Structure 1
Amino acid sequence: MNPNRRDAIKTTGAFATLISLGVITQSQAQAAVDNAAFQAKNLDDALKALGGTPATNDQVTIVSPDIAENGAVVPVGAVSNLPKTTDIYFVVEKNPSPLSCAFEIPEGSVADVQTRLKMGQSTNVYAIVKADGKLYSAVKETKVTLGGCGG
C-alpha cells in the first residue's frame, strides 16, 4: 500500500471518529485537512495538494495589477464562468508558502471573489478553480516594487 494512501486513510478515520463523537465539527476537520495545501513550500507541491496540475481555461479570469506598488497589499480577484464551481484558490508562485487563500463557493452562487495578497517579489499569480471535480486555472504576472513577504 502506498504510504501516502495509508496516511490519508488514518487521517480520514481519525477525523471521522472525532466528528462522530462530537469532539470537532465537520468544518474544523475540513480546515485541518486543507491545511496541508497551505504548508506546501513550492508551486508543484501546492498544486499536488490541491489535486494536480490544472488545465488553463478561458472561462477563468484573474484580475491582478501589472505593477503592485506595495507587495504587502496586492489586490487580486478571480471570476469563474464554469458551471459547478466549488472552490477558488490563489497561488503566488514565488511566495514562501505559495497557496495564499482558498474560497469555498456555495452552490448557486456567483463565482467571483476579491482579496488582497502579500507578495514577496515579482511573480506569477494563479487563480485555480475547482469546477465539477476538475481543476482549471488562469495566470497573470505581477511586478512588485516595494515591501511584501521578503522585506
Structure 2
Amino acid sequence: MDQKRRQLLHAVGGLGVLGLLATAGLISPAQAQAAAARPGFDARELNAALAALGAQEASASAELSLAAPDIAEVANAVSVEVKSRLPGTDRIAILVEKNPFPLAAVFSIPEGTQPEVITRLKMAQSADVVALVRANGRFHIARKAVIVTISGCG
C-alpha cells in the first residue's frame, strides 16, 4: 500500500471515530473539531511551530522554569517539568528543537489552577527543549539543552 493511501485512510478513520463519538454524545462537536485542528503539530521546524502558535516574539522570563536532565541516556522518555509563576498563565507548550515535528505537547491551564506540568517526551537527538507559556495574552519562553546518547525517534 503506498504512503499517500495510508495517510488518507488514517485521516478518514480518525475523523470517523470523532464523528461517531460526537453522534453518540460522548464528546461535543466542538471537542471533535478541536481534536482535528491542532495548529503547530504539523510544523517541521521550531520557528514554524512557534509561528503557528502565534508566539514569534516570545520573550524570556525569570518567572518561568524548565527542568529537564542534562543528559538523557535513552531518549524514549525524557522527563520535562515546566512551572510558571506568571499571573494569567493559560497555556503551556513544550517543543523539541531538532525533532522531526518540534511541537511535542500543548496544555490548557484552567483559571485558578497551578500552572505546572510534568511529562515525558521522545527526543530524536541532542537539542534544546523549549517551554512556551502564554500568560495574559503574551508569550514567554525558556530553553534547556539536553544531550541524548541514544535516539528516541527513528
The TM-score, its normalising length taken from structure 2, stands at 0.79
The Cα of 1:31 is off from its aligned counterpart by 2.8
Shift of 1:81: 0.4
Determine helix, strand or coil for the equivalent of 2:50: helix
5+ long unaligned stretches in structure 1: 1-21
**Per-residue deviation, 1:134:** 1.0
Match of 1:43 among 46, 70, 87: 46
**Which segment is superposed worse, 43-52 or 24-33?**
24-33
1:77 aligns with 2:86: no
Percent identity at matched positions? Answer: 42
Kindly indicate whether the alpha-carbon contact (under 8 Å) linking 2:91 and 2:107 is maintained by their aligned counterparts in 1: yes
Corresponding residue of 1:128:
132
> Normalization by structure 1: what TM-score?
0.80
Query: How far apart, in 1, do the equivalents of 2:143 and 2:72 lie?
Result: 16
- How far residue 30 of structure 1 moved from its aligned partner, in angstroms, is 2.5
Matching residue of 1:95: 99
Matches within 5 A, 1:111-126: 111-126=115-130
- Partner residue of 2:109? 105
State the one-letter code of the partner of 1:38.
Answer: F
Shift of 1:52: 2.5
Corresponding residue for residue 18 of structure 2: none
Mapped contact 2:39–2:53 kept (Cα < 8 A): no
d(CA) in 1 for partners of 2:113, 2:35:
21
Unaligned runs of 5+ in 2: 1-21
Q: Which amino acid aligns with 2:129?
A: V
Secondary structure in structure 2 of the residue aligned to 1:37: coil
